[in-house]
Amino acid sequence: MDTAAYIASGTLELYVFGLLTEEENKEVHDLALQHTEIAGEILDIEKAVINLSYAVSPKLSSANYERIREQLIEKHSTGVVPLQPKQNNIVLYIGWAAAVVFMLGFGYQYMKYNEATEQVRTYSAKSSKYEQLLAKSEKNNIAKDQALAVLRDSENTIIKLEGQQAAPQAYAQVYMNKTNKEIYVDVAGLPEAPEGKVYQVWALKLDPLTPTSIGIIDNKNADGSVFKMENYDGPQAFGITLEPTGGSKAPTMAQLYTLGKV
C-alpha cells in the first residue's frame, strides 16, 4: 500500500474532523494500527486542530472546572469522580444533638432528684408531726377511756360538789369507789384557773373538821377533765379550792369553789 498517497488524499483530516462514515472510520483505524506513518500523521493533524480551537477559545475561568466537576459528582457519579464524604457533617450534627439531649436529660433528672429529696424531707417532717399528733390523740383517748370507765363503774358513788361563794356557777363531781377506795374528780364545771394558780382537791372529815389534800390539778385543759386523786378512806365531804401553784398545806377558805357532802 502506498501510505504517502493515502496520507496525501486528505482522508485523515476528515477522519480527525469526524466527517467519515462508521465503515471508513474502521478502515482508517485498522490502517493506523498497521502503519506508524498513518498513526503519526493522525496525531499531528489532531494536534493542529486542538491548538487552533484552543487558540480561538475565549478565556475560560477556573470556576467552570469546579462547576462541571460538582455537576458530575451530583448527577452522574460513575465512581470515577470521588465523592466528597458529605455525611460527616450529618454525623457530627447528630453527635452534638445527642450530647445536648443527654445534657438536658441529665439536668432534668438532677432537678427531679432534688425535688424528690425535698419532698421526702417535707413528708418526713409532716410524718413526725402526725406521729406527735397521733401520740397525743392516743393519750387523750386513754384518758377518755379511763374517764368513761370511771363513770360506768357501778361500784362508784357520785358526789356532787356545788358552787360556793367564790364561784357560785362552778360545779364538780367526785367518783368514789367503795371497793378499792379509788377517787376520781371531774372538774369540767370549774372555770379556767388563772395564771399562777391551781385547783387543789381536799377530802374532809367533819367532826372535827379536818381537810386532807388528795391532789392538785394544774393542767386541767390539756389532760381532760377527769383526774385520779390519792386514795382516802372514809371521807365525809370533798372541797376544791384555788391555790397558788404547787398547792397549799391548808385550804384557803376564801377561795373555796365547790363543796359537797358524801
Partner 1 sequence: MTQEELLAQIYKKDGKAFTTLYDMYAKSLYGVIFNILKDKEESEDLLQEVFVKIWKNIDSYNEGKGRFFTWILNIARNASIDKLRSKSHNNSKKNLSSDNFVHILDHNTSVTNRIDAIGIKEFINKLKPKCIKLIDLLFFKGYTQQEASEELEIPLGTVKTQNRNCINELRNILSV
Which residues of this chain interact with partner 1, rule CB under 8 A? 8-11, 13-20, 22, 25-26, 28-29, 42, 44-60, 64-65, 67-69, 71-72, 75-76, 78-82
* Cα dihedral value 251, 158, 208, 252, nearest 10: 10
Q: How many residues does the chain have?
A: 262
Beta carbon nearer to partner 1, 58 or 85: 58
Nearer to partner 1, 57 or 154 (CB): 57
Nearest distance from residue 35's CB to partner 1, in Å?
16
The helix or strand, by DSSP H or E, that contains position 160, with its residue range, turns out to be strand 156-163
Smallest gap from residue 85 Cβ to partner 1 (A): 13
Strand partners, 237: 204, 261
For residues 139 and 61, give the distance between their C-alpha atoms in angstroms, rounded to a whole number. Answer: 102
Q: Which is nearer to partner 1, 67 or 136 (CB)?
A: 67
Residue pointed to by grid coordinates 374528780: 185
Q: 93-122 as b/e, with b when 16 or more CB fall inside 10 Å?
A: eeeeeeeeeeeeeeeeeeeeeeeeeeeeee
* Shortest distance (Å) from residue 100 CB to partner 1: 37
Between 34 and 236, whose beta carbon lies closer to partner 1? 34
AA identity, residue 207: D
Cα separations in angstroms, 164 against 124, 187, 229, 256 = 51, 14, 21, 6
3-class SS of residue 197? strand
Query: What's the closest the beta carbon of residue 114 comes to partner 1, in angstroms?
Result: 57
Which residues, 6+ apart, have CB-to-CB distance to 253 below 8 Å? 241
**Beta carbon nearer to partner 1, 46 or 218:** 46
- Closest CB 25 distance from partner 1, rounded Å: 5
Query: Which residue, 13 or 153, has its beta carbon nearer to partner 1?
Result: 13
Q: How far is the CB of 7 from partner 1 (least distance, A)?
A: 9
